[in-house]
């Protein structure tokens, strides 16, 4: 069993780290943005003073951070991870961040003699707790093969897409699909409810047809039951769609429905809902309809 560095023990990182602990690995952390939960401490979590010290103490470092600035700070800020790296170490960034920045981070990490994999995830808090995350990886085959036993403790559908940055490209594509599907489910349930149908029964009927999806199943139920405690916050999905729209601009690609859905998330944020689960996007449509689904 290994000693693994893990920085970013929040909603997603906590259950991910716990699966590693349960498999017998020792977890070390440093520079946390949210104080680690007691369950990790009770299960043997230890601390070092800085990310640099963390990198010096372990061979594998996993990051699960909110965004590109946080990853850059932890890697290359004062006493950052990069300054404790040496030949043979491996950085696995499981955050969802900029593909362009990821390629630069990978280049700088590789200059130390270490390896780098971007391995963003999909599946939210439920997937993290159930160790059923989809993991989209970018890196060398050798580094991926080395990381795979750890990734398999946290996820089920694990794919090496290409070299560094390609995992993040795939995650951005995933977030486009998820956002637009949440928006479609929201429209459907607002329409059905305002038309006088029972939205719970409408959802049940749709689950048996071609409109069935994991989002209709899980987030449709959240919309009906008004259960918006965050599995994945609106603010984080806004961040991911910003990456999509910035990338589209750089590539000269039009993403009209992504832009429209981002405006709905922006409306939610303007009304104080940025901390809700991203299924709370339905509230933007409800405000426009003057009618709540549940």
Q: Which residues are identified as catalytic?
A: 171
Which residues are 117's β-sheet partners? 92
| Sequence-ordered list of residues with C-beta below 8 angstroms from that of 290, at least 6 positions apart, any chain | none
SS3 135: strand
| Sequence-ordered list of residues with C-beta below 8 angstroms from that of 113, at least 6 positions apart, any chain | 85, 86, 87, 88, 89
130-167 exposure pattern, b = at least 16 Cβ within 10 A, e = fewer: ebebbbbbbbbeebbebbbebbebbbeebebbeebbbb
Among the listed residues 115, 152, 116, the one whose alpha carbon sits nearest the alpha carbon of residue 134: 152
264-289 exposure pattern, b = at least 16 Cβ within 10 A, e = fewer: bbebbbeeebbebbbbbbbbbbbeee
For residues 9 and 31, is the Cβ–Cβ distance under 8 A? no
For residues 75 and 109, is the Cβ–Cβ distance under 8 A? yes
> In whole angstroms, what is the distance from residue 157 CA to residue 134 CA?
5
């Amino acid at each position: 069993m290994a000693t693994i560095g893990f920085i970013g023990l929040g909603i997603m990182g906590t259950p991910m780290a716990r699966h590693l602990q349960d498999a017998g690995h020792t977890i070390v952390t440093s520079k946390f943005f949210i104080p680690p939960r007691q369950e990790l401490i009770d299960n043997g979590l230890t601390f070092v003073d800085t990310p640099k010290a963390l990198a010096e103490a372990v061979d594998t470092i996993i990051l699960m951070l909110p965004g590109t600035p946080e990853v850059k700070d932890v890697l290359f800020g004062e006493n950052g991870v990069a300054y404790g790296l040496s030949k043979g170490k491996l950085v696995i960034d499981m955050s969802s961040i900029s593909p362009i920045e990821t390629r630069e981070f990978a280049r700088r990490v590789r200059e130390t003699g270490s390896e780098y994999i971007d391995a963003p995830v999909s599946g939210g808090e439920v997937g993290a707790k159930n160790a059923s995350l989809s993991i989209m990886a970018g890196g060398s085959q050798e580094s991926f093969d080395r990381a795979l036993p750890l990734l398999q403790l946290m996820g089920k559908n694990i794919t090496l897409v290409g070299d560094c940055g390609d995992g993040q490209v795939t995650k951005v594509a995933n977030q486009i699909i998820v956002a637009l599907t949440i928006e479609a489910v929201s429209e459907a349930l607002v329409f059905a409810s305002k038309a006088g149908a029972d939205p719970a029964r409408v959802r049940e009927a749709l689950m048996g047809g071609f409109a069935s999806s994991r989002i209709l199943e899980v987030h449709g139920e959240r919309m009906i039951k008004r259960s918006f405690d965050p599995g994945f916050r609106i603010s984080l999905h806004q961040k991911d769609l910003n990456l999509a729209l910035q990338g589209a601009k750089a590539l000269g690609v039009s993403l009209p429905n992504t832009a429209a859905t981002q405006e709905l998330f922006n409306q939610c944020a303007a009304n104080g809902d940025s901390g809700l689960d991203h299924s709370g996007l339905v509230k933007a449509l409800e405000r426009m309809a003057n009618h709540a689904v549940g």
